[in-house]
Amino acid sequence: MITGKTNVFGIIGDPVEHSLSPGMHNAAFNSIGLDHIYVPFKVKTEELEDAINGARAMGIRGLNVTIPHKTEVIKYLDYLDIAAGLIGAVNTIEFGENGAIGHNTDGVGAIRAIEDFTPVKEKKIMVLGAGGAARAIAFQLLLSEAESLVISNRTIEKAQELKDDLIEKLDQEVIITDLGIDLEKELEDTDILINTTPIGMYPHITHKPLVTADMMHKDLIVNDIVYNPLRTGLIMEAEKAGAKTISGIKMLMYQGIESFRIWTGIEPPIDVFQSALLKEMNLEKF
């Protein structure tokens, strides 16, 4: 029941109508018996500053931030945690007595999804794409002591920018390539492949993935961060090759779990997050 004491959390973005986060967080709040509620707020870019100031004024306790505000929102916050500062993007805001703190749980969410299968430490990893999601994941992979990182992107200049930033901030070498290279050869000694491009995302589900079964080996772990559909073309190719697969839904779930932990100090029950997501997506398992 919502009362005068209920703590309000939410998500700001545009669009936000299809967000799966309210379902996950409300289910977790309920299951633990917290007097918290999580609501979606559609916020236009030109209203972002007002939205953050309004959230402070109204005592909102925490917000998730999604497209297109993840970078822009930094201007209106008081502090950033280490990951958000390195990545240069925020997906979680914690409002407290000392002000608004920006966090980024996207990278750590992706790493937790992978680490359900294997530690990333000392692994050879290839990331496809060099956009916002790739940035968050690349920084977190290096913070988690991955042995080597290859970033392959259609536009090499964009991969170069990410590389320069990784070297400047973490002093770690990464290899960049465009998509014209021999991916099969490159993948021979790769342990984990992560797709961060939107290829295969609904409604373009029949787009050919950048990597097909013939280029994969059976010990490869393939993580597609696209979760709609759950079994993307890349995941199906990985299954064909006998490789292990990780659905993008796990990254979504773990970034939410990490936000929840930041706001409440409690590690929420994973099964509650998982079943809330399944219900929202009309699925039985993932």
Binding site for ligand ATR (CB under 6 A): 129-134, 153-155, 158, 196-199
Between 131 and 269, name the residue whose CB sits nearer to ligand ATR: 131
- Tell me the two tokens of residue 28: 């977790």
Pairing between strand 36-42 and 79-80? unpaired
Min separation Cβ 47 and ligand ATR, Å: 21
Between 42 and 154, name the residue whose CB sits nearer to ligand ATR: 154
Phi, psi of 137 (to 5 degrees): -70, -40
d(CA 163, CA 173): 8
Closest residue to ligand ATR: CB criterion? 131
Phi, psi of 88 (to 5 degrees): 80, 30
d(CA 202, CA 238): 19
Between 61 and 207, name the residue whose CB sits nearer to ligand ATR: 207
Min separation Cβ 130 and ligand ATR, Å: 4
Between 27 and 193, name the residue whose CB sits nearer to ligand ATR: 193
Active site residue 42: no
Closest listed residue to residue 105, CA positions, set 41, 33, 160, 25: 25
d(CA 274, CA 227): 14
Min separation Cβ 41 and ligand ATR, Å: 20
Between 134 and 234, name the residue whose CB sits nearer to ligand ATR: 134
Contacts of 115 (CB under 8 A, 6+ apart): none
Residues facing residue 12 across a β-bridge = 41, 65
- What is the Rg, in whole angstroms, of the alpha carbon atoms belonging to the chain? 19
**What is the distance in angstroms between the CA of the first residue and the CA of the last residue of the chain?**
31
Min separation Cβ 210 and ligand ATR, Å: 6
DSSP at 218: T
Given the residues 5, 42, 44, 70, the one annotated as active site:
70
Min separation Cβ 68 and ligand ATR, Å: 10
Min separation Cβ 155 and ligand ATR, Å: 3
Between 7 and 165, name the residue whose CB sits nearer to ligand ATR: 165
Contacts by residues 5-8 (CB-CB < 8 Å, ≥ 24 positions apart) = 5/35, 6/35, 6/36, 6/37, 7/34, 7/35, 7/36, 7/37, 7/61, 8/36, 8/37, 8/38, 8/39, 8/58, 8/59, 8/60, 8/61
Catalytic residue list: 70
